Amino acid sequence: MISMGKQTDKELAEQGWEKRFSIEEHRAEEYKSNYEELGFEVLILPTVEVETDRTCDECIQADTCSLVTIFTRPK
């Protein structure tokens, strides 16, 4: 997992990253491999480091699992 400091979805989009979804950290590698096989670069960030529209706040605050957000962009 890469740590880039807190960035907004807009900043990441300006760098060509498309937000895909958030998932439990232990499952992220499976999706990373799948996207790479399809020809994408993959960026995985801890969800707490991504400025979102706040729809994920409840899960993040519950801290019942480590959530990461997956972003992709064409190679």
pLDDT of residue 46: 87
pLDDT of residue 10: 87
Cα–Cα distance measured from residue 43 to residue 61, given in angstroms and rounded to the nearest whole number? 23
- CA 67, 43, 9 angle in degrees (round to 5)? 75
Residue 44 lies in a domain: yes
Q: Give the structural domain span for 50.
A: 7-74
Any domain includes 1 = no
Q: Which stretches of the chain drop beneath a pLDDT of 70?
A: 1-5, 49-65
**Contacts for 10-16: CB closer than 8 Å, 24+ residues apart:** 12/43, 12/50, 12/71, 15/73, 16/73, 16/74
Residue 62, domain member (yes or no): yes
Q: Is the separation of the CB atoms in 69 and 50 below 8 Å?
A: yes
> What pLDDT, on the 0 to 100 scale, is given for residue 3?
46
**Within a domain: 2:** no
- The pTM of this model reads 0.77
pLDDT (0 to 100) of residue 43:
95
Number of domains in the chain: 1
Residue 47 DSSP SS3: helix
